[in-house]
Chain A
């Protein structure tokens, strides 16, 4: 328990540092968002409007940076992340709130499936090493080295086009309103198949490889020989003795990969124009939409930290050696 509190304190400190950086970095970048908004509107904004924009963005020069920093924290704690330029005047919180479910739904579910499936296959391949399964390993090495987006491009080239079942872009059919009904859900699922398959194919191979290798390493441990000598069933030796120990490094890898759900598959979302957070970030960069970028970075930071905390908890639960009594 003390260990967990220590970790939590550490992550809180890291979060504070990240948020502070998140506040200062845009302010150190030359130029300011109002300038870019003016240029986007080709100067057709009145002086009053410019002034109120400055106040809106928190750029009014009357306040010193310390006061701004405190205000930033105040707003943050109220869930106020400012206004987006790209979708002006929609608040950043709303933009993120709209796109986060898409990313979590697509990448989150795919990451979990990929981990479960890859680990299960890795256990099988590692336990029966030397059989025909080993012949498939070079293929998984190959697949895991392919970047997601390239696989996505290939998938679009091969599976989409006029008359094809799979759509090449978007999260749902144009004209549908997001709702939990019989039109929208099937459409959303249909749109997610190709991006999900892309991520699955290239990320699962990594899990297979690492799990297989850990299984092979663990299989030569003394306690595995003892388990065999005890006359336990093959299944029990493989799962409760070998896989249970081989799983440990993979679990921390999995928790970390949860942290990258939000930011890690940006390119897949771009390739498929999927309305998730990664695609939003891409657009934000294109429009110099600092508030939105800041907001998304904040979400990414927090999810990485939460994932790390989850990894610690998972390790505590799975490995008694890390529990200090």
Chain B
């Protein structure tokens, strides 16, 4: 079976400073892969490199078997690759429903399209605030909305950048349940995390990144049990 996402040999730069060195990661359908690493290890940059949001990048990104390395971000999104940024980037002046409508893309053959109603079922808090301005929502609600907004594009794979950051434990739990629900729907999910416990809850596999290099790639359980690796590369 071809992987949904296969990125290899990614080099990335901010200005003249190289921050990614041959990063690679693969994600299959219905698979949750965690990208683990410290602050500044290159997790967000890897996501931006995959989503075509980095000014300078080298390497190959394949999506559903197609080489998409040279495609601009909107074309990637239309092929089914969604990106949920770390800082959520909710449109503060738009209502919840309007935020969702910005993310809307045509339905994908062979799978049910996401509608606001289906998303409100997945994230019940959002259903109670359809007309609320994005700027008037809590961090957790904004995170839910940011994910829901990306789902409106009917993606096959979602890049979730630090979804649990700064959220209350109860919200993190809701989030984990929602992600597992998406996994059941057959979506591939690549999430970056510093929170090992949260990653362990939902991920099948994990890739450990440090200073822009992929150091380890194994099942989630193997990495979580590898005390040496955790001490060396993760903030635990």
A-B interaction: no
